[in-house]
Amino acid sequence: MTTPAQITIPTEPIGSIPRPHDLIERIAKGDSEDPSLAPLYENAIRDTIERFEATGSPVVTDGEQRKYHNFATYSVHGLPNTAPDGFKIPFSDGHTRRLSRLTRGPFRYRRYADSYLDVAMRYAHVPVKQAVISPSALSLMYPAEKIPDYSRQQFIDDLLREHETEMRRCLKKGAYKVQIDFTEGRLAVKIDPSGHLLNSFIDLNNLALSRFSLEERRRIGVHTCPGNDFDSTHSADVDYAELLPSLFELKAGNFYVALAGERDRRHALRIIRKYRKPDQRVFVGVTAPVDPHIETPEEVRDRVLEASEYIPIEQLGTTDDCGFSPFSDDTSTSRDTAFAKIQARVLGTRLAEKLIGGH
Ligand SMILES: [Zn+2]
C-alpha cells in the first residue's frame, strides 16, 4: 500500500508588524537613529520574533521594527543629498505620504536591509525572510526637472547596482526569501491609466532581476498590494486586470498578491490563472490588515480552497495582504490584532492542507 504524498501549502508573512508604543513615542520625539534607542529596538525585534514563532508561522520576519520610517525609504533615510519634498502618495482617506527627492548625485544607499537580517537571525529559530524596496519605487526619487551633472541614466545605473548589492547581501546571509515590495505597481495604473508608467516600472525591475540566476530567482519574490496605511489604501479601485498581466512578466519565482481585501476575489483569481507562468508560485493574501475584523481559521481555509480552484496546489501559497504597518508610526492596527491574524493564516492554511491532502 502506498500512502499519498503529503501536500504542503507554504505560508509566509509580508513583513511589517506594528511597533511597540514606547518605541513609536520615542521616535516621534526625535532622532530615529539616536543610539539610546538601541535597547528599545532590540527588545522590539526580540519580542516580535518570539510572538511570530508562537503563532506557528513557519517563516518569520523582524517585523521591520528598525525600518524607519517606512518600507520604501529605509535605505536612503538620512542621506545628505535628499530633500523631504519628493513623490506624493495619496491615500483613499485623504492623507498623503511622501518619498524623498534626490538633490544631487551620486546616488548611494545609506543602509542595506541585510543589516536587519543579522539581528533577526540571532533571535529566530525558524527561517527569516527579508523585504527590500523595489528599484521602481526609488526611481521616483529622481526629479522631473533633472539634476545638473548627474543624468537620469547615471542615476538608474547607480540605483540598479545598489539594489543588486542589497539583494545579494540578503541572499548570501541566508534570507529564506527576499521579497521586493512593489506596491507602486498598482498605483502606477491609477496615475497613468495608459499603462506606460507601469510598463516602465516592470522593465526597470526586470533589468535588476535579470542579474540573478534562475536558482536565485526561486528565492526572490515580488509583493503587490493596493497600499496599507492607517487602514486606508492608495489604489484598491484599480482593476487587477490592468496590473496582473504585466506583473507576471517580472522575472521572479514568487508573487505575494493581496487578495483577501479584494471586492471580487474570483475575478482576480481568473486573471492569475490566465497569466501566471508555470514556474511562478503565487502566495495569495488570506488576511486583510486594513480590516479590523480578525479572520477565523475557517474563513482562511475557505479562501485557500477557493484559490486552489484556480492555482495548482503545488504553485499555491498563502500570505497576508500586506504588512501590518508599512509606515512606522501607523498605530491603526495593534500588535495583538496583527499576530491574531497571522495565527489565523497559519491555522487556516493547515486546515486547507488537510482537506486537500486528505490527511
Ligand atoms: Zn503591501
Q: What is the 3-state secondary structure (H, E, C) of 200-255?
A: HHHHHHHHHHCCCCHHHHCCEEEEECCCCECCECCCCCCCHHHCHHHHCCCCCCEE
Residue 183 Cα to ligand 1 middle (Å): 6
Mean pLDDT of 208-219: 98
Tell me the CA–centroid distance for residue 237 and ligand 1, in Å: 15
Residues 6+ apart with CB under 8 A from 23: 37, 40, 41, 44, 65
Residue 73 C-alpha to ligand 1 middle, in angstroms?
14
Q: How far is the CA of 226 from the centre of ligand 1 (A)?
A: 7
User: Which 3-state string (H, E, C) describes the chain?
Assistant: CCCCCCCCCCECCCCCCCCCHHHHHHHHHCCCCCHHHHHHHHHHHHHHHHHHHHCCCCCECCCCCCCCCECCCCCCCCCCCEECCCCEEECCCCCEEECCEECCCCCCCCCCCHHHHHHHHHHCCCCECEEEECHHHHHCCCCCCCECCECHHHHHHHHHHHHHHHHHHHHHCCCCCEEEECCHHHHHHHHCCCCHHHHHHHHHHHHHHCCCCHHHHCCEEEEECCCCECCECCCCCCCHHHCHHHHCCCCCCEEEECCCCCCCHHHHHHHHHHHCCCCCEEEEEEECCCCCCCCCHHHHHHHHHHHHCCCCHHHEEEEECCCCCCECCCCCCCHHHHHHHHHHHHHHHHHHHHHHHCC
Distance 359 CA to ligand 1 centre (A): 33
The CA 151 to ligand 1 mean position distance, Å, reads 31
> In the prediction, which pLDDT does 54 show?
98
pLDDT class for 29, splitting at 50, 70, 90?
confident
Q: How far is the CA of 140 from the centre of ligand 1 (A)?
A: 18
CA distance 41 to 146: 38
Q: Which neighbouring-strand residues pair with 229?
A: 232
pLDDT at 33: 83
**282-305 pLDDT per residue, tens:** 999 999 999 999 999 999 999 999
CA distance 58 to 335: 19
Report pLDDT for 300.
Answer: 98
pLDDT of 1 over the 80 cut: no
Q: What is the pLDDT of residue 68?
A: 86
Closest by CA position to 269, among listed 296, 236, 302, 244: 244
100, amino acid identity: S
In angstroms, how far is the first alpha carbon of the chain from the final one?
16
256-267 tens-digit pLDDT: 999 999 999 999
| Cα atoms in the 13 Å half-sphere on the side-chain side of 36 | 5
- Rounded to the nearest angstrom, the distance between the alpha carbon of 71 and the centre of ligand 1 is 9
What percentage of the chain carries pLDDT values higher than 70?
98
Q: Which of 29-43, 84-98, 233-247, 292-306 has the lowest mean pLDDT?
A: 29-43
pLDDT band of residue 31 (cuts 50, 70, 90) is: confident
- For the segment 191-201, the average pLDDT, to the nearest whole number, is 97
In angstroms, what is the span from residue 323 Cα to ligand 1's centroid? 6
Confidence at residue 239, expressed as pLDDT on a 0 to 100 scale: 97
pLDDT of res. 240: 98
Classify strands 82-83 and 101-102 as parallel, antiparallel or unpaired. Answer: antiparallel
Per-residue pLDDT band at 358 (split at 50, 70, 90): low
pLDDT of residue 357: 80
- 299 CA from centroid of ligand 1 (Å): 21
The pLDDT mean for the chain works out to 96
Task: Give yes or no for residue 232 having a pLDDT over 70.
Answer: yes
pTM given for the model: 0.97
Give the whole-angstrom CA distance, residue 72 versus residue 317: 25
In whole angstroms, what is the distance from residue 62 CA to residue 65 CA?
Answer: 6
- Cis upstream peptide for 20 (omega within 30°): no
Cross-strand bridge partners of residue 282: 255, 316
- pLDDT per position as a tens digit, 104-121: 999 999 999 999 999 999
The CA 136 to ligand 1 mean position distance, Å, reads 15
CA of 314 to the centre of ligand 1 (A): 24
pLDDT band at 4 (very low <50, low <70, confident <90, very high): low
pLDDT tens per residue, range 243-284: 999 999 999 999 999 999 999 999 999 999 999 999 999 999
Query: Which whole number is the average pLDDT over 219-240?
Result: 96
- Residues 236 and 264 sit within 8 Å (Cβ to Cβ): no
338-356 pLDDT tens trace: 999 999 999 999 999 999 9
Give me the pLDDT at residue 233, please. 97
Average pLDDT over residues 74-84: 96
Please report, rounded to a whole number, the percentage of residues in the chain having pLDDT higher than 90: 94
**Rg of the chain on CA atoms, in Å:** 20
Is the pLDDT at 193 greater than 60? The verdict is yes
Residue 201: the pLDDT is: 98
pLDDT, position 30: 80
Query: In the beta sheet, which residues pair with residue 318?
Result: 11, 284
235 Cα–ligand 1 center, Å: 11
Q: What is the average pLDDT across 149-165? A: 98
Distance in Å, CA 224 to ligand 1 centroid: 6
| HSE, side-chain direction, 13 A CA sphere, residue 40 | 16
Q: 197 near 186, Cβ under 8 Å?
A: no
CA of residue 34 to ligand 1 center, whole Å:
28
Ligand 1 centroid vs 181 CA: distance in angstroms? 7
